[in-house]
Amino acid sequence: MLLDTPTLLSLLLLELLSLMVMLPLLMGAAVSRAARFAQGYIALQCVGWMALWLRQSSGAPISDGLGGFVAMLALSASLSALWLALRDWLGRRPGRWAMMGAPLVLALASVLDGSGADHFAIAWSGLGLSLQMLALALACSWPREAEQQGLEIRHITPVEHKDRAWRTLLGLGFGAMASVPLLRASLHFLGREVGWEALLTQAIILGAHVMLLVSVLAILVAWRGETELHLQRQAHTDALTGLANRRAFGSRSEELISLARRHGEPLCLVMLDLDLFKKVNDDHGHEGGDRALALFASCVQQVLRVGDLAGRVGGEEFCVLLARSDELGPRAMDARLRAVLHARAEKELGFALDFSAGWALLRPGDRSVEDMMRRADAALYEAKRSGRGRLCDEPGWTPAEKTG
């Protein structure tokens, strides 16, 4: 071996200390919880290896006493922190309680074992850390959670494709890294005295060097993907209501229209407009008006079914596309929305809100959602003209009409 154990340990500690300072500087203050967990992983690794380094340089058995306890607690907690970062980035992963309980169990095991073995980690801790690494490898390969709305999945695909590379790298790294402490733990449990104990220790520290590099690269790529996704969402979302903005509504509606045509299913568009909204602003201020818009959007989302699409297409104008829906869909949605809005507006805003609506069915000649919107808008105009607070059918609609 070119470098001895103390030198390898010191170099690892130097790298960890540098990364612990550099990562937060590089990522900035406004980072997600996942990025904070990832930074916590580096910081806890630093504490763990520092404890081992201190024990090692004082000449005491490094797995004994307080040093061993702190080292195990911090190293195990670092793996749990990285697991939490993965869960935030990729969605729920299996093994949550095991990962959360592992640090304390391993730390206690390292002091209660009492074998006093003079090496980096006693068998129980080695076994526990290996299992945690395998759980991390599993967390990397576990499929990403499906987004709430079917259409959202297509929307995030470019980022999802990119994250396969870092997940594979990290998963393979932890899978391979787990094998060395696992081998050492097995030898210990079998009571085998082997002459290459020091070599195994050095292999573990070298593995930690490599894993540090791999995990920092993976963290940076994941963090960049997260930032991209965030910007992408911002560009497609109306900031006040959280619904799709007009542009996003237009582009996502194309997918719904082509799906409806491919499967020969009916599709309806409902246009919604708050009644006398100018008066809401006049009576309750612009801020009261904004709260009313946000509440209305929340009611719309509450009554939608999975697969439907809602967007804010103008100031107090909203559109909803109802997938696999004939004329009964708009009527049912309108009734549900009125009931929910009337119940929530008084309670949450302190004043009543009402809306008018018009709907149109997808027809064979429609080139885009704009054609449906024109007819739904004419129906909405009719609803306003005839007294507001109601739903009207598109001009000339009769129940016998065929869908697009």
Ligand X SMILES: Nc1nc2c(ncn2[C@@H]2O[C@H](COP(=O)(O)OP(=O)(O)OP(=O)(O)O)[C@@H](O)[C@H]2O)c(=O)[nH]1
Q: Give exposure, 310-343, as e/b (b: 16+ Cβ within 10 Å).
A: bbbbeebbbbbbbbbbbbebbbebbeebbebbee
Window 368-397: residues binding ligand X (CB under 6 A)? 384, 388
Q: In what order do the strands lie in the sheet with 317-322?
A: 309-312, 317-322, 268-274, 355-361, 391-393
Site map for ligand X, 223-262, x if CB under 6 A? -----------------x----------------------
Interface residue with ligand X, options 163, 226, 238, 275 (CB under 6 A): 275
Q: Stretches 45-53, 126-134, 271-279, 366-374: which one binds ligand X (CB under 6 A)?
A: 271-279
Residue among 92 and 278 whose Cβ is closer to ligand X: 278
Candidate list 278, 351, 352, 395; residue touching ligand X; CB under 6 A: 278
- DSSP 8-state assignment for residue 15: H
**Which CB, 239 or 306, lies closer to ligand X?**
239
Site residues (CB under 6 A) for ligand X, limited to 81-140: none
- The dihedrals phi and psi of 10, each to the nearest 5 degrees, come to -65, -40
Q: Are 233 and 195 in contact (CB under 8 A)?
A: no
Q: Which of 15, 163, 238, 316 binds ligand X (CB under 6 A)?
A: 316
Residues 69, 327: Cα–Cα separation, whole Å: 68
What whole-number distance in Å separates Cα of residue 166 and Cα of residue 185? Answer: 29
Give the separation between CA 390 and CA 399, rounded to whole angstroms: 19
Q: What count of other Cβ atoms lies within 10 Å of the Cβ of residue 193?
A: 7
Spot the catalytic one: 15, 226, 316, 394.
316
Q: Is 315 in the site for ligand X (CB under 6 A)?
A: yes
Minimum gap (Å) between residue 362 Cβ and ligand X: 26
**For residues 54 and 199, what is the distance between their CA atoms, to the nearest angstrom?**
20
From CA 209, how far away is CA 259, in angstroms rounded?
50
C-alpha dihedral sign at 285, 290, 296, 299:
negative
- Nearest approach in angstroms of CB 154 to ligand X is 29
Enter the DSSP assignment of 276: T
**Which contiguous run of DSSP H or E holds residue 312?**
strand 309-312
Closest approach of ligand X to the CB of residue 278, in Å: 3
Return the number of the residue (81 or 391) whose C-beta is nearest ligand X.
391
Give whichever of 275 and 308 is closer to ligand X, judged by the CB atom. Answer: 275
Report in angstroms how near the CB of residue 155 gets to ligand X at its nearest: 24
Residue closer to ligand X, measured from CB, 234 or 368? 234
Taking the least distance from each CB to ligand X, the nearer of 41 and 296 is 296
Q: Please identify, using beta-carbon distances, which residue of 91 and 315 lies nearer to ligand X.
A: 315
Helix (H) or strand (E) holding 311: strand 309-312
Beta bridge partners of residue 237, listed in sequence order: 244
Span interacting with ligand X, options 67-75, 79-87, 206-214, 278-286, rule CB under 6 A: 278-286
Q: How far is the CB of 245 from ligand X (least distance, A)?
A: 12
Q: What is the DSSP letter of 244?
A: B
Which of 89, 174, 249, 277 is close enough to bind ligand X by CB under 6 A?
Answer: 277
Strand residues in 162-267 grouped as ranges (E):
none
Window 279-298: residues binding ligand X (CB under 6 A): 281, 286, 289-290, 293
* Spatial separation of the C-alpha atoms in residues 219 and 250, rounded to whole Å: 35
Compute the distance between CA of residue 227 and CA of residue 296 in angstroms, rounded to an integer. Answer: 29
255 catalytic, yes or no? Answer: no
Least Å from the CB of residue 78 to ligand X: 46
Q: How many residues in the shown chain lie near ligand X by CB under 6 A?
A: 16
Stretch that binds ligand X, among 10-18, 156-164, 277-285, 360-368 (CB under 6 A): 277-285
What residues act catalytically?
316
Give the footprint of ligand X on this chain (CB under 6 A).
240, 273-278, 281, 286, 289-290, 293, 315-316, 384, 388
